[in-house]
Amino acid sequence: MRLGLPLVGIFLLVLLLIIVPSQSAVSSVDLGSEWVKVAVVNIKKGQSPITIAINEMSKRKSPALVAFQADARLLGEEAAGLVARYPDKVYSQIRDLIGKPYGYAKRFLDSLYLPFDVVEDSRETVTFRVDDSGNLYSAEELFSMILKFAANLAEFHSKVPIKDVVISVPPYYGQAERRGLLQAAQLAGINVLSLINEHSGAALQYGIDKDFSNESRHVLFYDMGSSSTYAALVYFSAYSAKEFGKTTTINQFQVKDVRWNSQLGGQDMELRLVEHFADEFNKQVGNGIDVRKSPKAMAKLKKQVKRTKEILSANKAAPISVESLYDDRDFRSTITREKFEELCADLWEKALLPVKEVLENSDIKVDEIYAVELIGGATRVPKLQVTMQEFFGKKELDRHLDADEAIVLGSALHAANLSDGIRLNRKLGMVDGSSYGFMVELNGPGLIKDESTRQLLVPRMKKLPSKMYRSIVHNKDFEVSLEYESEELLPSGVSSPVFAQYAVLGLSDAADKHSSKNLSSPIKANLHFSLSRSGILSLDRADAVVEFWEWVEVPRKNLTVENLTTSSPDVSLEANTTTEESTDKATVDNETSSTVNTSMEEKSSEDLIPEKKLKRRVFRVPLKITEKTTGPGKSLSKEYFVEAKTKLETLDKKDAERRRTAELKNNLESYIYATKEQLEMSEDISKITTSDERQSFIEKMDAVQDWLYTEGEDATASEFQERLSSLKAVGDPISFRLKELTARPAATEYARSYLNEIKEIVKNWETKKSWIPREKIVEVLDSADKLKTWLTEKESEQKKAGFTAPAFTSDEVYNKVFSLQDQVASVNRIPKPKPKIEKPAKNETKDDTKSSPEESSQNDQTGKDGDAADETKPDTLPEHEAEVHDEL
């Protein structure tokens, strides 16, 4: 029997999205080592609810780069244009540097020939010196710049503000990386609804349009990106649930396991080619020259190698050509696919290790895998595909998903589900787990290291989110350490399994305060942990629990028997309860016995005897938690965070001003070129301007153009705007007159044509719409005559004035014609009157004589006697009936 996954914590996602009344949009960001992709969920008529945001170059992904050059910050495509010229100022691979120790980060950058000027900060992580002024930025700050760039892309695409975002992260991201990413998002002013593991995003995109009610399946998602590789086993199934009284089937998936190699990716293949071509170039040049010592040369070579690798994916051989690679020497060569595969021979087996590990740990055989979905850019390499086919024994692998966009699109579904502004329909349950297992260890005076002070807190693949609780008998302040479960499975660069440390304070004071009491059990501390939806483990709160016995006085009734002559002081609680219930019932059932009841109550109150009983009481005292984490796992301090926020806001303002300046400069330059061309090429320009006027204007534009390419190179936005406005003050009237030269005659012709139409319209009214009042027709004709007269006068004035000073404009003509058309339309809508229908006399008589039975009877008799009765007895009719006949 197929069992459903746990319902608690399942997130339900949809394909059909319905926006709530308030306009809302959310986005997702897939930020890789080299590229950033953005998807937007926004409901608009005529477009897909989930779309990829394109950048300024109309591309669906943007380089994940930040550059600093000449006091300007550049992002994305702008930064990519500087890589070859300024390789030390274009910062890449930022995602892989968050939360990493300085030593590891430095070795990582050197292995990729990235010549960044980096220093070690107080947290023992890497910081980038971006200019000669000594400005420093942490990895979180650079990462926040890319996130802000992605958010701006989403807003520009959707045309509405977007603050809620889901960000995908690789499964091997540890606690320091996840915390650092969230801090980077805070710096960027982004509200992160959740982090989502990349494989879960891909699984959402895979399962959202499928039905698993008839068949459950295991699907393996294999992702090789630029810098890392992982394999995730996901189980898709369905379960039944009741909604609104009806049984429905809900699809779901659960991540069974995920394994990875965080240091194997497409760029490792590229580095093999880089080393191969560097050796070849050194051999060609000779003289002991090593191109690897030139950062610019290596940046050029890496750029071309990337293109060569892409060509090899579709061809058996590929060329490489780099102009002025080193010392003005060009480099040209070719390489075959066979040679490329030989250079990477050891990588193909390494690429299979995550797959083998995930199958072994899940106890799943190869033939039980329903599909193998390839995602990530590096999976396009033919040799890697062949290796996977041979391992799984398949002729063709499953590629139903877009290798580049599956993760960001699935993450967008998750964002829509978590957002308050979007209502979801089709459901897909999602259960993901923690990629790492976590331990908790307690240290302090009087604590012995044993199983009680060191425990497994979160087993690997525990469901996200979750809450945990631990209790320890202790009466002194102590420290809590959170650690990775296994030292064999640590994030890259991490040498110590401890990632967070806390001091729990206040337990000693609580113990001293309550130690004199009659304790029922030793004082203990309760610790409350949470594993968030983003996979972050934290100690949320702690409290001391004090349990003690205390003597308290409680009232006890001294009940009497019916004759009140004997008493029983040791009556049990059951007897008391029964008697009270009986008395209450008697009071309710028989109100006449109120006097007796009253006397009974008085007697009972007189017989209440205080009694001391031993009662257990529990006090919970909140304890103070102070974080003591050190090293790369430590978050940015509040002071540093505020300072960084101010720096980033200053950069944003400078960027906005720089873009505005560039736009105004471009507008000024374009206006000069376009206007000069108009003055020189237009045959009609001489009709509306004098020769002196044109010459003066051209000289003024020449002066501004000279300034533009000299002093104007470093001008501000206001200076460009000022000169553009001064030129338009002269040029706009000329352009207007040139436009009116053809627009005014066209408008006049249109007006006269409509005046002729009005004659036909009036004739039609007179023959086919005779009900239209004559005065309305006369008003239309008068308005038409006025327009005709005005046109004649204005045309005469224009001939006298010439074309340098317009007597009237085309807009004026059209406005008067439109006004006349509205008047004609109003008259034309006058409806034909409905014919008057007279009601029969008999019906009206009956309707009007229902006031009394006597009158109704008399009217009936009159109707039987006919007209003769009316003539012979006119004076005998009731007054009311006479009034009725008068109306007829």
HEC states along 718-786? Answer: HHHHHHHHHHHHHHHHHHHHHHHHHHHHHHHHHHHHHHHHHHHHHHHHHHHCCCCCHHHHHHHHHHHHH
Q: Which two tokens stand for residue 853?
A: 């039975």
pLDDT mean for each 10 residues of the chain (888 residues): 39 42 78 96 80 94 94 93 94 96 96 96 94 91 97 92 94 96 96 97 94 93 96 95 83 96 96 97 91 95 95 95 94 96 96 97 93 94 95 84 95 92 78 96 90 92 95 93 94 93 94 84 94 97 92 69 40 34 37 42 57 86 94 90 94 92 93 90 84 91 92 90 94 90 92 92 90 91 94 89 80 94 93 78 49 45 42 40 34
Q: What is the pLDDT of residue 836?
A: 73
Compute the chain's Rg from CA coordinates.
44
State how far the Cα of 211 lies from the Cα of 237, in Å rounded to an integer.
Answer: 9
State how far the Cα of 468 lies from the Cα of 528, in Å rounded to an integer.
Answer: 6
CATH classification number, 438-549+623-636, choose in 2.30.30.190, 3.40.50.720, 2.60.34.10, 3.30.70.260: 2.60.34.10
pLDDT digits (tens, 9 = 90+) for 33-49: 999 999 999 877 767 88
Q: What is the pLDDT of residue 431?
A: 95
Among 268, 274, 269, 271, CA closest to 297: 274
Instruction: Return the half-sphere exposure (C-beta side, CA atoms, 13 A cut-off) of residue 709.
Output: 7
Q: What is the pLDDT of residue 840?
A: 67
Among 314, 305, 397, CA closest to 344: 305
- Residue 432 identity (one-letter amino acid): D
Helices (H), ranges, 558-593: 573-589
Helices (H), ranges, 16-138: 77-80, 102-111
The single residue listed with the structure tokens 């490489």 is 320
Question: Are β-strands 164-169 and 26-31 bridged in parallel, bridged antiparallel, or unpaired?
Answer: parallel
Domain residues of the chain, as ranges? 11-264+350-430, 438-549+623-636, 558-607, 648-828, 841-887
pLDDT digits (tens, 9 = 90+) for 492-519: 999 899 999 999 999 999 989 888 888 8
State how far the Cα of 347 lies from the Cα of 353, in Å rounded to an integer.
Answer: 10
Length of the chain: 888
Yes or no: say if 203 and 147 are a contact pair by the CB < 8 Å rule.
no
Instruction: Return the half-sphere exposure (C-beta side, CA atoms, 13 A cut-off) of residue 474.
Output: 26
State how far the Cα of 438 lies from the Cα of 124, in Å rounded to an integer.
Answer: 23
Provide, for the chain, the percentages of residues in helix, strand and coil under a 3-state DSSP scheme, each rounded to the nearest 5.
45, 25, 30
List of residues 6+ apart from 189 with CB closer than 8 A: 148, 151, 163
Please give the class, per CATH, of domain 11-264+350-430. alpha beta
List of residues 6+ apart from 619 with CB closer than 8 A: 514, 544, 545, 546, 547, 548
Q: What is the pLDDT of residue 400?
A: 83
Q: What is the pLDDT of residue 550?
A: 83
pLDDT digits (tens, 9 = 90+) for 202-212: 999 999 989 99
* CA distances in angstroms from 869 to 391, 443, 864, listed in the order given: 116, 122, 9
**Can you give the three-state secondary structure of 36-71, one letter per residue?**
EEEEEECCCCCCCCEEECCCCCCCCCEECCEEEECC
- Residue 865 identity (one-letter amino acid): D
Numbers of helices and strands, H then E, in the chain: 23, 31
Helix (H), strand (E) at residue 659: helix 638-681
* Residue 881 neighbours by CB distance under 10 Å: 17
Tell me if domain 11-264+350-430 and domain 438-549+623-636 are identical in fold.
Answer: no
- The residues pairing with 38 across neighbouring beta strands, listed in sequence order, are 29
Q: What is the pLDDT of residue 607?
A: 59
**Can you give the three-state secondary structure of 806-846, one letter per residue?**
CCCCHHHHHHHHHHHHHHHHHHHCCCCCCCCCCCCHHHHHH
